[in-house]
Amino acid sequence: MNEPIWSPCKKICLVDPAQTICVGCFRTMDELGRWTLMTRDERLAVKAELPAREQAYRTSRKA
């Protein structure tokens, strides 16, 4: 039986065109397109980066 694929999707799909990143889950366009093709380890590596991406995005919006 296949293990379900974890996703950070929050059903708030909005891409910031200047940064080409989804401001709901903070994945890049490439990651969004390849998500189901990535290995578990690749997805976990992206997962580890998401909090920093969100913080950087929010900080850049305040400037």
How much is the pTM? 0.87
What pLDDT band is residue 43 in, cutting at 50, 70 and 90?
A: very high
CB 22 within 8 A of CB 14: yes
For tokens 């994945």, name the residue.
27
Q: Is residue 30 part of a domain?
A: yes
Q: What is the pLDDT of residue 4?
A: 85
Percent of the chain with pLDDT over 70: 98
Question: For the chain, what is the domain count?
Answer: 1
Q: Per the domain annotation, does 36 fall within a domain?
A: yes
Q: Does residue 47 lie within any of the structural domains?
A: yes
Does some domain include residue 19? yes
Supply the pLDDT for residue 7.
93
At 56, the pLDDT band (50, 70, 90 cuts) reads very high
Domain that holds residue 42: 15-62
What tokens appear for 26 in the block? 């903070």
CA atoms in the 13 A half-sphere facing the CB of 57:
20
Instruction: State phi, psi for 58 to the nearest 5 degrees.
Output: -65, -40
Is residue 51 in a domain?
yes
